[in-house]
Amino acid sequence: MKTSLRTLDGLKRSLTVELPVDAFKQKTDQALKKMASQVNIDGFRKGKVPISIMRKQFGARASSDAVNEIVNDTLFDALSEVKITPASRPDITKIDTEDEKAFTYTVTFEVYPEIKVTDFSKLKVEQAEVKITQSDEDKTLTRLTEQAIEYKAVKRKSKKDDQVIIDFKGMLDGKVFEGGVASDFKMVLGKGSMIKGFEEGLKGFASGDSTTLDLTFPKEYHAPQLAGKAVVFEVEIKEVAEPVTPELDDKFAAKFGEKDMDALKASMRKQMGVEVANRLDNQNKDALFGVLLEANSFDVPQASIDQEAKSLLQEMQQRLQQQGMPSQDNMPASTFNPEAERRVKLGLLINQIATDNKIEATKAQLDTKLAEMAESYGENSQKMLDYYNADPSRMTSVELMVVEKMVQDLILKDAEVMIKKVTFEETTQAQP
């Protein structure tokens, strides 16, 4: 076997493999004999058709089968001979079966880039820190109080902060549109949960009243068939209820599974600390890796980008389905190419840093990470642990998280780190 490797544009490579022509002829004859035992041809018993006739009728198909078998048998060794690992599945681009002495085929594929990571000491990284204040705790307790608000039916006209129970029917061009009908729908006036004008239009009505709302969906509305469209809602008010704010006592604490207010406040402070720590970890990680990406420039295999883009599209479709929103069936995966390229590039960088510095996750580190993850599952923590421990392959994602954190720590040890003080609300209200 002879091999010849050529460099094409960017990460594309072309590999030509040459073999004795007899190898191709033997594979072709074998394919024809196999077919002869399976096909029926008038005048011949199955398996007794002369090879010359088989070649005349099925030669092209046999040649194709022979090519595929030879490629499958020899490509791995050919790639090993030129010491290269494809980043994408090789495509057969040329076949020569006419030469009397040799059979050759050519495949093209992409390779992974050679990455020389920038010196960490040249990186300037901003990392956020936060201190939870008494004001933060007070605001969080206020939000818990709002969650525990109950509503009492009243015989008066509705106003801001009241809860109304309604039936409604939405129509576009005189016809009810998909998702435009609901019964016994509960909403609090002034919360902004509906499109502009809907909640405002329901103030000043009592139980048993009806009204018609002429509204327009926002231009950026998630359902394209409704975005920017004028619609009419027919609404029947079935109940008006006013909010009843609970007393901050042991009964209130019991609603959140705590015995008294001291225990509730202690639990609340702990949860606030966990939430802000998790968010800070993610925000600081994104800031660090953003700087790392800017400092390292290299090509990324397009096939890897395409595959990651498809995964991102599937994730979006699953989220829409879970939220009961219309799927975006016509959206091309290429829409996600920028984010896909970022993810692939970052993955290659982290892998290169881990390889360069011989970073590997130990069993103790994996167990610690699993225990941390289990904490957020509460009473279902053991089920989560059993899930991962039942199949070693499931630990791959956990291992990646551990290695990623070790890479972070390694970079921060040498990089120039600038600390930025942020508030609890800035941290928790930022996009996750």
| pLDDT tens profile 101-130 | 999 999 999 999 999 999 999 999 999 999
Q: Are 165 and 217 in contact (CB under 8 A)?
A: no
Instruction: State the pLDDT confidence band at 44, using cuts at 50, 70 and 90.
Output: low
Residue 41 or residue 358, greater confidence: 358
Q: Which pLDDT value is given to residue 375? A: 78
The model's pTM is 0.72
Q: Which pLDDT value is given to residue 45? A: 62
Q: Which pLDDT value is given to residue 63? A: 87
Q: Which pLDDT value is given to residue 205? A: 97
Fold of 150-244: Chitinase A; domain 3 (3.10.50)
Q: What is the pLDDT of residues 277-298, one digit of tens each?
A: 989 999 999 999 999 999 999 9
In Å, what is the CA distance from 315 to each residue of 35, 336, 426, 431? 45, 11, 27, 18
Q: Which pLDDT value is given to residue 47? A: 61
Q: What is the pLDDT of residues 138-178, one digit of tens each?
A: 999 999 999 899 999 999 999 999 999 999 999 999 999 98
- CATH class of this structure's domain 2-110: alpha beta
Q: Which pLDDT value is given to residue 135? A: 95
Q: Which pLDDT value is given to residue 33? A: 80
How far is it, in rounded angstroms, from Cα 181 to Cα 49? Answer: 70
Range of weakest confidence among 70-84, 181-195, 380-394: 380-394
pLDDT at 194 over 70: yes
DSSP per-residue letters across 358-398: T----HHHHHHHHHHHHHTTGGGHHHHHHHHHH-GGGHHHH
Q: Which pLDDT value is given to residue 48? A: 65
Mean pLDDT over 331-341 rounds to 92
Strand, coil or helix: what is 161?
A: coil
Which amino acid appears at position 398 of this protein? Answer: V
Q: Which pLDDT value is given to residue 46? A: 64
pLDDT at 38 over 70: no
Q: Which pLDDT value is given to residue 292? A: 97
Q: Which pLDDT value is given to residue 337? A: 94
Mean per-residue pLDDT of the chain: 91
Sort residue 190 into left (φ over 0), alpha (ψ -120 to 50) or beta.
left
How far is it, in rounded angstroms, from Cα 226 to Cα 218? Answer: 8
pLDDT at 376 over 80: no
In Å, what is the CA distance from 426 to each residue of 130, 417, 418, 419, 421? 9, 20, 18, 15, 10
Mean pLDDT over 46-51 rounds to 66
For the chain, give the percent of residues with pLDDT over 90: 72
Q: Are 11 and 113 in contact (CB under 8 A)?
A: yes
Q: Which pLDDT value is given to residue 49? A: 66
Instruction: State the pLDDT confidence band at 349, using cuts at 50, 70 and 90.
Output: very high
Cα–Cα nearest to 277, from 428, 76, 125: 428
Strand, coil or helix: what is 417?
A: strand
Cα–Cα nearest to 427, from 140, 142, 123, 145: 140
Q: Which pLDDT value is given to residue 307? A: 93
In Å, what is the CA distance from 53 to each residue of 57, 58, 89, 284, 329? 6, 8, 36, 71, 50
**Domain ranges (residues) in the chain:** 2-110, 120-132+252-429, 150-244
Instruction: State the pLDDT confidence band at 374, using cuts at 50, 70 and 90.
Output: confident
Residue 365 or residue 98, greater confidence: 365
Mean pLDDT over 238-267 rounds to 94
Selected from 1.10.3120.10, 3.30.1340.30, 3.30.2020.30, 3.40.50.80, the CATH number assigned to the domain covering 120-132+252-429 reads 1.10.3120.10
Q: Which pLDDT value is given to residue 379? A: 74
Mean pLDDT over 175-193 rounds to 93
Residue 29 or residue 409, greater confidence: 409
How far is it, in rounded angstroms, from Cα 154 to Cα 379? Answer: 39
Q: Which pLDDT value is given to residue 107? A: 96
Q: Which pLDDT value is given to residue 335? A: 92
Residue ranges in 88-234 assigned as alpha helix (H) = 134-147
Instruction: State the pLDDT confidence band at 432, using cuts at 50, 70 and 90.
Output: low
pLDDT at 97 over 90: no
Residue 212 is given by DSSP the state E
How far is it, in rounded angstroms, from Cα 234 to Cα 102? Answer: 79
Same fold: 120-132+252-429 with 150-244:
no
Mean pLDDT over 311-323 rounds to 87
Give, rounded to a whole angstrom, the gap between the first and last alpha carbons of the chain: 54
Give the distance from CA 146 to its chain's centroid: 33
Q: What is the pLDDT of residues 381-419, one digit of tens each?
A: 888 888 888 888 888 889 999 999 999 999 999 999 999
Mean pLDDT over 226-252 rounds to 95
Q: Which pLDDT value is given to residue 323? A: 77
